[in-house]
Amino acid sequence: MTLLQILKNIVRKHSIHVCYVNTGSCNGCDIEILACLSPRYDIEQYGIYVHNNPREADIILVTGTMSAQWIDKLPDIWDKVPEPKAVIVIGNCPISGCAFDRPGALIDPPVSKHIPVSAVVPGCPPRPTEIISTILNSADILFENYETKTERKP
Ligand code: SF4
């Protein structure tokens, strides 16, 4: 591995842009994501920057049950994210619909049916420390030697 590749690996793993999408939750998981930004958990100390621009994101965090109005919108957002990219679902709602999985509910979980999911953080809601450690672990896998992994073979 060249020095340039080593430097790229280090820098990318410490500069992770996260876009956050709520597809219809009770806001419990969203409050835990917001808690990650608080001084107690201070997510930015790890180089993780949370915003809502998919065109600048590396990782998308998805909360909620995948309600009907998100079925077309979420794949659109996923298409706008540049490579390398990953999706992490937060909480039980995007996995199973959780408390909202009832007859007649206009939801279509799991999120993995609509876009490729790299990691899940189960819980109702999960703790901020679990969210942060999953983002860091995913970034390690996502960015490690990215160019080498995607090099075209002759
Ligand atoms: S997993 Fe639980 S806390 Fe999170 S959005 Fe669903 S019902 Fe709310």
Q: Residue 73: inside a domain, yes or no?
A: yes
* Residues whose CB is less than 8 angstroms from the CB of residue 144 and which lie 6 or more positions away in sequence, other chains included: 9, 13
| Ligand 1 pocket member 109 (CB < 6 A) | no
> Whole domain around residue 90: which residue ranges?
15-144
Mutational test site, ligand 1, from 62, 63, 67, 70, max ligand atoms within 8 Å of CB: 63
Q: How many domains does the chain have?
A: 1
User: In the chain, which residue ranges form alpha helices assigned H by DSSP?
Assistant: 3-13, 28-36, 70-80, 93-96, 128-143, 146-150
Per residue in 63-94, pLDDT (tens digit) is 999 999 999 999 999 999 998 899 999 999 99
Does 25 sit in the ligand 1 pocket, CB within 6 Å?
A: yes
Q: What is the pTM of this model?
A: 0.89
For residues 51 and 42, which has the higher predicted lDDT (pLDDT)?
42
Tell me, yes or no, whether 86 lies in a domain.
Answer: yes
CA distances from 134 to 14, 103, 104 (A): 14, 32, 33
Three-state DSSP class for residue 120:
strand
Distance 91 CA to ligand 1 centre (A): 6
